Amino acid sequence: MHIFENTDGYSRVSLAQFPTPLQRLDRLSEHLRHEIWMKRDDLTGFAGGGNKVRKLEFLMAEALKQKATAVITVGALQSNHARQTAAAAARLGLACTLVLAEAVAGRTDAYANGGNLTLDRLVGAVIKRVPAGEDVNTAVNQAITDLEAQGHKVYVVPLGGSNIIGALGYAVAGREIEDQARAVGLINPTIITGSGSAGTQAGLILGTDMPVLGISVAANESDLKLKISQIVNEGSELAQFPNADKKEINVDDRFVGAGYGQPSEEMKEAVELVARLEGIFLDPVYSGKAMAGLIHRVQSGECSGPIIFLHTGGMPALFAYDDVF
Ligand SMILES: *Cc1c(COP(=O)(O)O)cnc(C)c1O
């Protein structure tokens, strides 16, 4: 696998297909009477698509540089990040253990065994489930010990791939969006994205001067802003992102609903609307709630100028929400 060296000593492996398309959503724009574009990072072209592969191109290069033979990562049972990490490990010939928290209460058997978990099993990941209330870090440490006992050198990919290394993938994406928006003549667009572990939004803030609004899928506004600012501040110490720490961080936490991974009525309506107007599948945990936020903000007059909605992927999780759709 070819590792690209770039500035600042960060390396990158090639896993995805870039650039992803930037498309005008004609029927949704007409329906909402507002100009809506979509950046199709559901079409990153690797292992079911989604945003995490952009981060993994940098994180996995770091794992290879450290001569890792196995990776571990963490997430909820239906983690898209876990699925993409497991697939990237398979592609690079590394072993992979997923430590998955049973953190979303009241879901169906499809949630507990289907959706992303089917794909995790297909790519050969070892899956360790952490029952609700038990400590994830303890389970991660146990998994490290087990792999080391088998002679592996282990690299731990953080939750959501969200540290400065992973966020570089979205700094690159920010520049990609800026180039595409310029090419189609968009004036003062705002990027809207679902925001969970913060690396996607932080990376976009590093990579572009366009305003970026994160719709939280879990944390309250101040907790999420703190997570984003920690990564942005780290980035601002790199030569390529001077003064990034001075940039504004915008978060809307009104669309979390009953909690991370818990379906909401607005999410369901947003996912159905985009499917029926555009033939595009959002996901129930992230992009569906982000789209619910976009719709609410447009309808209540909170948006000016064209919107670029970042479709972050997650379609396999739809199959885990068979009680909702
Ligand atoms: C992880 C994920 C996000 C959120 O990205 P973060 O970098 O964790 O904020 C959004 N959408 C989907 C589908 C995801 O899997």
User: Is position 84 within any domain?
Assistant: yes
Q: Has this prediction a pTM greater than 0.95?
A: yes
Pocket test for ligand 1, best of 312, 315, 318, 319 (most atoms within 8 A of CB): 312
Average pLDDT over residues 142-159: 98
| Residue numbers annotated as active site | 79
Same-domain pairing of 95 and 210: no
Same-domain pairing of 230 and 307: yes
Closest C-alpha to ligand 1, atom 8: 197
Establish whether residue 284 lines the binding site of ligand 1, counting it when its CB lies within 6 angstroms of any ligand atom.
no
Same-domain pairing of 144 and 182: no
Confidence label for 7 from pLDDT (cuts 50, 70 and 90): low
pLDDT at 1 over 60: no
Same-domain pairing of 93 and 196: no
Identify the CA nearest to 48 among candidates 125, 119, 100.
Answer: 119
Same-domain pairing of 44 and 157: no
CATH code of the domain covering residue 225 = 3.40.50.1100
User: Is position 286 within any domain?
Assistant: yes
From 116, 131, 161, give the residue that closes a domain.
161
CA–centroid distance, 100 to ligand 1, in Å, is 16
User: Is position 325 within any domain?
Assistant: no
Same-domain pairing of 171 and 298: yes
Q: What is the number of structural domains in the chain?
A: 2
- Using CB atoms within 10 Å of the CB of residue 134, give its burial: 0 to 12 exposed, 13 to 18 middle, 19+ buried: exposed
The DSSP bridge pattern shows strands 36-40 and 22-24 to be antiparallel
- Per residue in 68-117, pLDDT (tens digit) is 999 999 999 999 999 999 999 999 999 999 999 999 999 999 999 999 99
Per-residue confidence (pLDDT) for residue 10, from 0 to 100: 85
Per-residue confidence (pLDDT) for residue 54, from 0 to 100: 98
Same-domain pairing of 235 and 100: no
Which range marks the domain in which residue 85 is found? 52-161
Q: Among positive and negative, which fits the CA dihedral 156, 310, 54, 268?
A: positive
From 161, 195, 212, give the residue that closes a domain.
161
